[in-house]
Amino acid sequence: MQQIKETTLELIQGDITEAEVDAIVNAANSELIGGGGVDGAIRRAGGTEIARACAEIRRREGGCPTGQAVITPGGNLPARYVIHTVGPVWEGGNSGEPELLASCYQESLRLAVENGFQSVAFPSISTGIYGYPTEKAAVVALTAVKEFALQGNTVPITIEFVLFDEATHTCYLDALLNVFGK
């Protein structure tokens, strides 16, 4: 666990659909149409309320661009809300992927603060179906959190990374050393 000013950061291995936080973050697609991976797991566990709310956002706003985030209720999840963010598809790293991935974390945290949330859980966005190398994505994710904690945030908030498999968890632990130096 890391305490950075008002921000508490935790890395755990587990299933994000079980996280007891104000909001979990979903690695969604721009159409906000249910997919596989963590998106599928969240929609299965949360039930139809999530799909209904996503369809409404699709009608109203046409979806969610890469690097942006939108919010829906959590349905049957322990988390009250789901923040859906759209990570970049990895195309080799020279197509703005790091900036877009950082934006996913920044925009999700902005929504969390705007809504007064005290706890938010992230998966490893873009590192599954979208193919972003996990070692690189972990550094981008934790750097975005570090900047939020040091420069932007003034309210107490706990940020959990809930990492599904051991290899991803290990990558994030390594990145923590790299980004925070301990």
Residues with active-site annotation: 39
Q: Is 151 exposed, middle or buried (0-12, 13-18, 19+ CB in 10 A)?
A: exposed
Q: Among 35, 57, 118, 135, which residue interacts with ligand AR6 (rule: CB under 6 A)?
A: 35
Residue 124 engages ligand AR6 in binding (rule: CB under 6 A):
yes
Residue 72 engages ligand AR6 in binding (rule: CB under 6 A):
no
Residues contacting ligand AR6: total by CB under 6 A: 25
Contact residues for 51 (Cβ-Cβ < 8 A; gap 6+): 34, 43
Residue 15 engages ligand AR6 in binding (rule: CB under 6 A):
yes
Largest CA distance in the chain: 46
Q: Among 21, 70, 125, 140, which residue interacts with ligand AR6 (rule: CB under 6 A)?
A: 125
- Asked if residue 124 lies in contact with residue 163, where contact means CB atoms within 8 angstroms, the answer is yes
| Three-state secondary structure of 121-152 | EECCCCCCCCCCCHHHHHHHHHHHHHHHHHHH
Q: Among 28, 53, 69, 120, which residue interacts with ligand AR6 (rule: CB under 6 A)?
A: 28
Q: Among 21, 27, 77, 140, which residue interacts with ligand AR6 (rule: CB under 6 A)?
A: 27
Q: How far is the CB of 97 from ligand AR6 (least distance, A)?
A: 12
